[in-house]
Structure 1
């Protein structure tokens, strides 16, 4: 049996965030305000279906229970449904999720569920259609909302919605969001705006701590829930009067990294030990044959010894991450 992936601080890794493309068709002002531009990498091709199959097989054999497909916009891959099926070949993968901007949900979500997708995160930063357009550069608010309805119709019992918290853009809209989830099984997740290499000025203008939301929730009778070992970093709150939940992702809070349980692989096959780390460890040369799995697992395990105890966002060090589509957020 392959040992569980563990780092020098005895953190165990049950969760893989796998980027399958860094291309995105939205132009969100906090990520790709000027639209997608290809990176000048030596190997610009994204992981093939077989490479995805091999890397997820290696992680599953070492204790990974959850895989999230990310991007860019992962559903832009023409073989996206095949990718879902390939990852689900691993019985050890109990949860297979995708983070999407939602523009293809209405058309394809039933097909994705049939292929084995178990969870959905949809990015919606405003419930006002005009503001949504201003943030994303796309007039697709009603299309995305219809996609969420389609997800429930396809059999998903819960949908997570990611909202990047921005000062004077949406941080005063809590009541509107709460009304929306009162009768809907949606976990609305407020994510603190994070500084990236390309986004320093925007960060200084719009960053606000998730504490402002947490304080209001606690005052209104919401209670924080326990976190399972393969859960992401959100602090989740529930209230008896609401079907939905609120999640808070606060990377600037003290000890945020102490419970880190996730690793990242980029769309070009690099292992990233932290979203805001320096560089990455190439895995691609060990994804060419099924016979390389032992070597692949050994390289990943050895790399974990250099994983740092925390990120350095408080010092303004954003590492290699120029924008959130680069590694997969």
Structure 2
């Protein structure tokens, strides 16, 4: 067998001591683009560790709860501390949602140009040791990545990380979720824009509505509380379903999150399709007059509400009509290794290229810190965003 083929197979069964517990593990193949430099906190060879012994998982270690101090690298020129990193694991997706992808599809980055597992872990560790305490996994669709369990396990083991969450379309989630939870996935957002199967197929250009509902119920069954359900509201498509979505919160620990329709390359955004926060709120209040505002954290992206007698909650994400830039604490690492400080800003800087050129941690911190310092006070208005060249949402990460 050729050496290049041999590298694709897991070899050398070994034992790897992590903390005070020994796990059976397998060496990860040294794929193209794997990290080849040095690092204080991980060896050159990364390990794909079996998720065993939940009671001994580092997530339960009290030492893990201690946060790392926020370094200057993560503080922008307006004093905002960026402690939340969104990591896109892949550009691939098993749906073709119209607000995410143009009808003709998009050109995907070739596999060698995407971050490997070891590269993701090195960069994530650098962010966490600098003060990031929350990581959200996105895509594309993160569950289509074959090593998603290993990604979750290793990220959840980073000292100082308090939250490991994921945004998913839920299509294949139900069967993977118990293992993902064992591997340290602490929070979950599931995207669902309609409760009508025919509408689902029209919007996503695929079948699978029932499977998404099953994933939501599975998430509840395995103990996620709340299960966040993301719903992009579009006039003439699903704005008539808002109160039906709110009904989901009556007896289940679901947080329905209504999201204003946002412009991205290729999604044919039109202001006429936008249902504003004030209009959405009026719609819900008319049917549920017991809606009451909850005190939000300063860095919260959503405006959160509780309804008397309901188990769950309702939220509104108002990026277009009432932005929340002043409290923004989010940064983005794209699947191709580009670093983005604002969802709607076109500026990106590559971390993959210096990483593969054996940049030191200090050199990477300098690149990251300079990008963070360039972050603007707020993003542009929705009409300017619609005219600004950016990337399709599937490239940026949900």
Determine the C-alpha separation between the residues in 2 that align with 1:69 and 1:112.
12
Aligned residue in 2 for 1:3: 71
* RMSD of equivalent CA atoms: 2.1
Structure 1 residues 1-329: aligned runs within 5 Å = 3-4=71-72, 5-34=74-103, 36-39=105-108, 45-200=113-268, 202-218=269-285, 220-228=289-297, 231=300, 233-288=301-356, 292-318=360-386, 319-329=388-398
**Per the alignment, in what secondary structure is the counterpart of residue 309 of structure 1?**
coil
For structure 1, which segment, 12-21 or 279-288, has the greater mean C-alpha deviation from structure 2 after superposition? 279-288
SS at match of 1:253: coil
Change (3 A) 1:181 1:33: farther
1:251 and 1:168, CA in 2 relative to 1: closer, same or farther beyond 3 A? Answer: same
Contact 1:195 1:316 in 2 (8 A): no
Once the 2 structures are TM-superposed, how far is the Cα of residue 69 of structure 1 from its aligned partner?
0.5
Distance across 2 between alignment mates of 1:123 and 1:253 = 21
Deviation at 1:218, TM superposition (A): 4.9
2:315 is paired with a residue whose SS is strand
> In 2, are the aligned partners of 1:263 and 1:273 still within 8 Å (CA)?
yes
CA contact (8 A) 1:65 1:230 kept: no
Query: Offset at 1:76?
Result: 0.7
Contact 2:98-2:267 within 8 A present in 1 as well: no
Post-superposition offset of 1:33: 4.2
- Contact 2:265–2:393 at 8 Å: present in 1 too? no
Kindly indicate whether the alpha-carbon contact (under 8 Å) linking 1:270 and 1:280 is maintained by their aligned counterparts in 2: yes
Name the CA distance, whole Å, in 2 between partners of 1:153 and 1:86: 25
**Larger mean Cα displacement after TM superposition, 241-250 or 276-285:** 276-285
Partners in 1 of 2:357 and 2:157 — Cα distance?
Answer: 17
Distance 2:363 2:264 in 1: 33
Compute the displacement of 1:240 (Å).
2.4
SS of 1:173 mapped into structure 2: helix
Residues 230, 256 of structure 2: 8 Å contact kept: yes
Contact 1:193–1:207 (CA<8 Å) still a contact in 2?
A: yes
TM norm structure 2:
0.77
Cα offset, 1:123, TM superposition: 0.6
Q: Offset of 1:229 from its aligned partner?
A: 5.5
Deviation at 1:89, TM superposition (A): 1.8
Higher-Rg structure is 2
What SS class does the counterpart of residue 223 from structure 1 fall into?
A: strand
Matched-pair contact (CA < 8 Å) for 1:25–1:35:
no
- Larger RCO of the pair (alpha carbons < 8 Å, separation 6+): 1
Change (3 A) 1:119 1:320: farther
Structure 1 residue 199 displacement after superposition = 2.6
Say if 1:153 and 1:289 are closer, same or farther in 2 by CA, change over 3 A.
farther
CA contact (8 A) 2:220 2:253 kept: no
Query: How far 1:61 sits from its partner (Å)?
Result: 1.2
**Residues 102, 43 of structure 1: alpha-carbon distance in 2 compared, 3 angstrom cutoff:** closer
After superposing the two structures, state which structure 1 stretch, 134-143 or 204-213, moved more: 204-213
Give TM-score scaled by structure 1 length.
Answer: 0.92
* CA deviation string 1:69-108 (max 9, x = no partner): 0011111100011111121121211111111110111110
Q: Which runs of 5+ in 2 are unaligned?
A: 1-68
Cα 1:290/1:96, change in 2 over 3 Å: farther
Residues 1:35 and 1:46: Cα distance change in structure 2 (over 3 Å): farther
Q: What is the Cα deviation at residue 35 of structure 1? A: 6.2
